[in-house]
Amino acid sequence: MRSVRAKATVGATLVVAVALIAAGLSVLLLLRQNLEQQAALEAEVTARETASRYALGQELDLSDAEERPIQIVDENGCVVAASPGLERISGTGSGAVTAQRCPPPGQDGEDTADGDGASDEADDADGPDETDEPDPGQVSPGRPGTVTGSATVNGDTARYRFAAVEATSGESDVTVTVWAGAPLTTEENAVGTVRDAMLVGLPALLLVVAAVTWLVTSRALRPVEGIRREMEAITHSEDLSRRVPEPDTRDEVALLARTTNETLTALEASVERQRRFVADASHELRSPIASLRTQLEVGAAHPELLDVPGAVADTVRLQQLAADLLLLARLDAGERPAPARVDLGALAREEVSQRSGDTVPVAVTAAEGLEVNGSRSQLARVLGNLLDNAQRHARASVAVTVRSEGRDVVVEVADDGEGVPEAERERIFERFVRLDDARTRDEGGAGLGLAIARDVAVRHGGGLTVAAAGAGGALFRLRLPAA
């Protein structure tokens, strides 16, 4: 199951199914409990009414309870009375369904003449007292106990909820237990009806949930399918100028489409830069190679005409260009600077002292102990490129300043040349960009020095910018985080 729609549909259906089953079971349980409580209350009312009549000495006429089982049991378990129509009963104090000949209390069912004579003599000794009235009996206080059993009344067998109430007769001082039952048929029918309705409605509801989830998910993923088809077409056509459709919604799919288009834009720009880089590199390499080949061919045919210094210069230029291209390739591949501490002040003084071909004097002002983390060789390459650029455009002086500024170390290289126009201050850091756009053998270089310097600065966590110097020339400011 790899489809997102299928996964979402199955997941939503399962969640709803679990919720509905839990809710249904809770409803059935509460319904059963409520109906059983109602049946117990009905049984209690009937048992208390019958127990009250027995306690008051009224005649136990149970003919009005033909449809409900009522059973009166004494302390010995003997049935004193039972409702007519009762054919079978279980769960109460006795299984008998008709009134039995019950022995007097305390005799456990055995007749003894002595006991009867003693009782008669005691009654004669006391003598009749016509003014005495029998004391009323009593019904045991508190909520009666309830049990669940079954009974057959007039041929119909059903489950009943029985309530038991104790009562003591005022005439005979005999304590009995009145069992009265209320049918659970209503509870069973109601629970069964609700259960059947749930069994029928639950699958139908789950089908509706699955269908709605499928439709909603399909509609939500429709833009994603459009994005996928367009990306597939872009991949086959290799046309990075195309863009995926962006839906009008402001949801995650719209954000995905927008991010995809931004990625395509960045990829198109990167590919374009790569193509331009390859074309410019080929052009830059072609010039010194062609010049070197020409000189060697002339030298081979006419040794006296061989321009050795020119051939050496072309070879050096070719070597420097190859080194620049190799460094740019390593930087593009994500090469990180080696973890070392470099004193920029000492590095600036050392780099200036080693330069022998400079035509313009360089003044260095550097504080001590201004260290940064990074690659010494790469940072020396940055300073060398900045000094080369300053020497190329300066008229009379070049100044190098190394100072601390907050948590950064700043290196400034200023010249007194013509400076950089404000509109070109970002463009000069692009690869193979020279403001004269010349492609001849001159001292303008290949246009890689400043691009390499900025890339190295960025890899070291800093930056390289250009502004106007106080003397009117260009001021290049290298900012690196202090160690």
Q: What is the pLDDT of residues 271-280, one digit of tens each?
A: 887 787 777 7
DSSP letter string, 310-343 = HHHHHHHHHHHHHHHHHHHHHHHTTPPPPS-EEE
Model pLDDT for residues 359-385, shown as the tens digit of each residue = 889 999 988 889 999 888 889 989 989
Q: Per-residue pLDDT for 96 more than 50?
A: yes
Model pLDDT for residues 120-148, shown as the tens digit of each residue = 443 444 444 444 444 454 545 444 578 88
- What mean pLDDT do residues 187-207 have? 87
For residue 66, what pLDDT band results from cuts at 50, 70 and 90?
low
pTM of the model: 0.50
Better-predicted residue by pLDDT, 230 or 61: 230
Q: CA 395 to CA 399: how far, in whole Å?
A: 12
> Residue 197: how many CA atoms within 13 Å on its side-chain side?
10
User: Does residue 194 contact residue 202 with C-beta atoms inside 8 Å?
Assistant: no
Which tokens sit at 130? Answer: 């016509």
User: Does residue 44 contact residue 65 with C-beta atoms inside 8 Å?
Assistant: no
Q: What is the 3-state secondary structure (H, E, C) of 35-74?
A: HHHHHHHHHHHHHHHHHHHHHCCCCCCCHHHCCCCEEEEE
- What mean pLDDT do residues 175-193 have? 85
- What mean pLDDT do residues 426-432 have? 83
Residue 104 is predicted with a pLDDT of 64
Phi, psi of 413 (to 5 degrees): -120, 115
Instruction: Tell me which residue has tokens 């979402």.
Output: 8
Return the top range by mean pLDDT from 18-32, 76-90, 324-338, 426-440.
18-32
- What mean pLDDT do residues 397-419 have? 91
Strand partners, 27: none
Choice among 189-193, 208-212, 434-438 with the minimum mean pLDDT:
434-438
Which three-class secondary structure state does DSSP give residue 279?
helix
**Helix crossing, 185-237 with 252-301: angle to 10°?**
20
- What mean pLDDT do residues 332-349 have? 83
- What mean pLDDT do residues 199-225 have? 87
H-helix or E-strand spanning residue 16? helix 4-55
Better-predicted residue by pLDDT, 211 or 106: 211
Domains and CATH numbers, the chain: 240-335 (1.10.287.130), 337-481 (3.30.565.10)
Residue 142 is predicted with a pLDDT of 40
Distant-in-sequence, close-in-space partners of 416: CB < 8 Å, separation ≥ 6: 394, 395, 396, 397, 469, 471, 472, 473
- Dihedral angle sign, alpha carbons of residues 207, 211, 214, 217: negative
Q: What is the 3-state secondary structure (H, E, C) of 205-257?
A: HHHHHHHHHHHHHHHHHHHHHHHHHHHHHHHHHCCCCCCCCCCCCCCHHHHHH
Give helix then strand counts, H and E, for the chain. Answer: 8, 14
Residue 144 is predicted with a pLDDT of 55
For residue 112, what pLDDT band results from cuts at 50, 70 and 90?
very low
- What mean pLDDT do residues 208-215 have? 90
Residue 124 is predicted with a pLDDT of 43
Residue 477 is predicted with a pLDDT of 93
- What mean pLDDT do residues 400-417 have? 91
Phi, psi of 242 (to 5 degrees): -75, 155
- What mean pLDDT do residues 411-422 have? 89
Model pLDDT for residues 237-250, shown as the tens digit of each residue = 888 888 888 888 77
Model pLDDT for residues 296-321, shown as the tens digit of each residue = 888 888 887 777 787 787 787 788 77
Better-predicted residue by pLDDT, 172 or 161: 161
Return the top range by mean pLDDT from 250-264, 324-338, 432-446.
250-264
Q: Per-residue pLDDT for 480 more than 90?
A: yes
Which tokens sit at 67? Answer: 């449809």
For residue 440, what pLDDT band results from cuts at 50, 70 and 90?
very low
The share of the chain scoring above pLDDT 90, in percent, equals: 12
What's the full length of the chain, in residues? 483
The share of the chain scoring above pLDDT 70, in percent, equals: 86
Residue 475 is predicted with a pLDDT of 92
Model pLDDT for residues 18-41, shown as the tens digit of each residue = 998 999 899 889 988 888 888 888
Residue 296 is predicted with a pLDDT of 83
For residue 478, what pLDDT band results from cuts at 50, 70 and 90?
very high
Which three-class secondary structure state does DSSP give residue 148?
strand
- What mean pLDDT do residues 324-350 have? 81
Q: Per-residue pLDDT for 196 more than 60?
A: yes
Query: Strands 362-366 and 398-405, how do they pair?
Result: parallel
User: Does residue 37 contact residue 44 with C-beta atoms inside 8 Å?
Assistant: no
For residue 444, what pLDDT band results from cuts at 50, 70 and 90?
low
CA distances to 13, 16, 212, 213 from 10, in Å: 5, 10, 12, 9
What average pLDDT does the structure give for the chain? 80
Q: Per-residue pLDDT for 344 more than 70?
A: yes
